[in-house]
């Protein structure tokens, strides 16, 4: 059996790039994302029974990381329950209350353990005894045993064995069919005049995604930044044009580590994997694609009259069309497009409304107690009186949200809030009616 590529698939513990008000729903979302990371290989991949049983066994043997910082095994009964909940209710079915803090390390403080991890990462061959000696020289006053520290480091994946360089064990690998895995990455792009700033010359950012099996570039585009909205737009275009990938392999950039992006793909049933830090071989195909772009496309456009980022992207898309139609040495002379068409039967397209809903912008808000309104981008939207004072999640299309936004609670749609109207004549007789309705809902 071919060894798995060196990338990790687990709850990443990231935080949303867009800052928003934190509330109790965040803990439920974090736990649901952690559970989805565990079951994703079973519910996202197209596996035959022998492979499915092997994946299940691997999941049961893996020590998974959860939002509370614990790394633990998942029981077979628990795994079956999570899979059944996801099949029945989707991602919302995984939202449950977090478990107790049983199993947390009480013998060693978090600060001491974090410093011990830094020392182990600084020199992976450093023994636990040497780490304790260094901590004491740095002023450690608490009493810790070598065995306890060694066990805690091993539980968190920082043992000397796990950090040892695995030289000589890697093999070339690729997926069997198109859309089994997409590799995504970012790179610095050419500098062009920024029309937003009086033509000032500024560098661009390239966001690119390719299919692992066919080497087809599913989408690539230049932006002025590599933040979450840009990443979302690029991947939405790719899914709309090329169908739904079963897995996505990301770099460890902050936008890829966003909880908002993870929740989006969890709702679409797409598994997320992350490259192991300091392991560029995990994403060798897309690194080679970026190299081809720099050696060919970047040099060609140095002499082209590019007046805006739209001109740059238009030239890039023409280059990608030619690249996808060019014979590829890794495909035995076939073109990426030919290899893609061969697996067209495996392509799954997503309905446009579902796609737009999953990629909608999200923000936690508290509905105003007196006016029952929520504000997005300095625009007030009117919610139902029953929602006054409640914590809700607002979702909206980033490109057009002037007239209405969606209100969600606990991962379920509640209602659509329209733009609030400010009128001269107000019927104050409605006040008592609203109070009675709100009191009945509370009861």
Please tell me which residue, 281 or 429, carries the higher pLDDT value. Answer: 281
| Per-residue pLDDT, 2 | 42
SS (H, E, C) 223-250: ECCCCHHHHHHHHHHHHHHHCCCCEEEE
Please report, to the nearest 10 degrees, the dihedral formed by the alpha carbons of residues 397, 401, 403, 408 taken in order. 50
- Name, in order, each residue with C-beta under 8 angstroms of 84's C-beta and a sequence gap of 6 or more: none
Rounded-to-integer distance, Cα 222 and Cα 224, Å: 7
Domain boundaries, the chain: 182-354, 360-442
Residues paired with residue 210 on neighbouring β-strands, in sequence order: 183, 217
In this structure, the number of other CB atoms found within 10 A of the CB of residue 391 comes to 14
Rounded-to-integer distance, Cα 37 and Cα 33, Å: 6
pLDDT band at 239 (very low <50, low <70, confident <90, very high): very high
The residue-averaged pLDDT of 31-51 equals: 89
Pairing, β 247-250 against β 271-275: parallel
| Per-residue pLDDT, 3 | 42
pLDDT band at 321 (very low <50, low <70, confident <90, very high): very high
| Per-residue pLDDT, 410 | 85
| Per-residue pLDDT, 165 | 56
Q: Considering only 22-26, 243-247, 267-271, which range has the smallest mean pLDDT? A: 22-26
- The per-residue DSSP string of 367-387 comes to --TTT-EEEETTEEEEPPGGG
58: DSSP letter? H
| Per-residue pLDDT, 328 | 87
Task: Read off the pLDDT of residues 176-221 as tens digits, 9 standing for 90 and up.
Answer: 889 999 999 999 999 988 877 777 888 999 999 999 989 999 999 9
Enter the CATH code of domain 182-354.
Answer: 3.30.420.10
The residue-averaged pLDDT of 283-295 equals: 90
pLDDT band at 104 (very low <50, low <70, confident <90, very high): low
Nearest-10 crossing angle of helices 259-268, 24-44: 40
């Amino acid at each position: 059996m071919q060894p798995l590529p060196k990338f990790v698939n687990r709850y990443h513990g990231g935080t949303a790039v867009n800052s928003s008000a934190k509330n109790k729903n965040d803990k439920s979302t974090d736990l649901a994302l952690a559970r989805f990371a565990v079951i994703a290989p079973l519910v996202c991949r197209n596996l035959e029974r022998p492979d499915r049983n092997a994946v299940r066994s691997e999941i049961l043997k893996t020590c998974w990381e959860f939002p509370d910082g614990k790394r633990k095994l998942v029981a077979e009964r628990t795994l079956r329950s999570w899979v059944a909940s996801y099949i029945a209710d989707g991602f919302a079915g995984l939202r449950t209350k977090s478990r107790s803090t049983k199993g947390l390390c009480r013998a060693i403080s978090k600060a001491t353990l974090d410093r011990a991890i830094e020392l182990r990462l600084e020199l992976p061959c450093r023994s636990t005894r040497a780490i304790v000696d260094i901590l004491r020289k740095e002023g450690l006053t608490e009493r810790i045993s070598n065995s306890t520290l060694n066990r805690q480091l091993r539980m968190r994946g920082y043992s000397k064995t796990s950090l040892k360089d695995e030289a000589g064990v890697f093999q070339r690998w690729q997926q069997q069919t198109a859309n089994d895995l997409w590799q995504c990455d970012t790179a610095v792009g050419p500098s062009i005049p920024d029309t937003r700033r009086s033509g000032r010359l500024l560098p661009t950012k390239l966001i690119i995604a390719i299919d692992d099996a066919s080497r087809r570039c599913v989408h690539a585009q230049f932006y002025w930044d590599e933040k979450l909205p840009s990443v979302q737009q690029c991947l939405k275009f790719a899914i709309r044009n090329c169908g739904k990938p079963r897995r996505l392999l990301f770099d460890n950039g902050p936008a890829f580590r966003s909880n908002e992006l993870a929740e989006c793909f969890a709702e679409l049933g797409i598994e997320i994997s992350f490259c192991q830090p300091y392991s560029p071989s995990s994403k060798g195909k897309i690194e080679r694609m970026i190299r081809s772009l720099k050696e060919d496309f970047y040099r060609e456009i140095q002499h082209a009259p590019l007046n805006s980022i739209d001109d740059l992207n238009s030239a890039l898309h023409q280059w990608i069309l030619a690249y996808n139609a060019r014979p590829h040495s890794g495909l035995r002379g076939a073109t990426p497009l030919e290899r893609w068409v061969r697996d067209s039967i495996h392509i799954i397209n997503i309905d446009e409304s579902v796609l737009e809903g999953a990629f909608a912008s999200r923000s936690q808000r508290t509905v105003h107690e007196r006016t029952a309104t929520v504000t997005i981008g300095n625009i007030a939207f009117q919610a139902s009186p029953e929602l006054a004072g409640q914590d809700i999640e607002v979702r909206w299309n980033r490109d057009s949200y002037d007239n209405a936004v969606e209100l969600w609670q606990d991962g379920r749609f509640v209602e659509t809030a329209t733009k609030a109207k400010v009128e001269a004549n107000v019927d104050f007789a409605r006040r008592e009616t609203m109070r009675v309705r709100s009191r009945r809902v509370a009861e």
